[in-house]
């Protein structure tokens, strides 16, 4: 299962790379986000989190702030785990999944 999960991730990334290459070849320009866009995204995420917390409270979820914090901790942990792994190496990704899941 870990191998196929990793393989799916690698193939997805290849598809994205193909799409970006085709866009460039078709004359489209690819821009990196500037500081203003990066800040706007961060503000949007913060606003979305506030809405998620309020929705959870209205549905009777106790302590949704802790649930969100735990989720973000897990995402950050996986970001760190993946930082030193070749995202194009199915076997390396599968080994990480086997070790951590």
Helix 64-83 to helix 35-58 angle, to the nearest 10 degrees? 140
Please state whether the predicted TM-score (pTM) of the whole model is above 0.85.
no
What secondary structure letter does DSSP report for 85? S
Nearest to 49 by CA among 69, 63, 73: 69
How many distinct helices (H) and strands (E) make up the chain?
4, 0
Tens of pLDDT, residue by residue, the chain (101 residues): 999 999 999 999 999 999 999 999 999 998 899 999 999 999 999 999 999 999 999 999 999 999 999 999 999 999 999 999 999 999 999 999 999 99
């Amino acid at each position: 299962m870990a191998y196929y999960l990793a393989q799916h991730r690698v193939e997805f990334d290849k598809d994205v790379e193909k799409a970006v290459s085709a866009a460039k070849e078709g004359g489209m320009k690819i821009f990196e986000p500037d500081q203003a866009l990066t800040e706007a995204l961060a503000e949007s995420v913060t606003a979305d989190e506030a809405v998620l917390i309020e929705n959870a409270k209205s549905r009777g979820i106790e302590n949704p702030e802790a649930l969100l914090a735990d989720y973000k901790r897990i995402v950050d942990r996986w970001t760190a785990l993946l930082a030193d792994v070749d995202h194009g190496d199915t076997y390396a990704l599968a080994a990480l999944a086997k070790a951590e899941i």
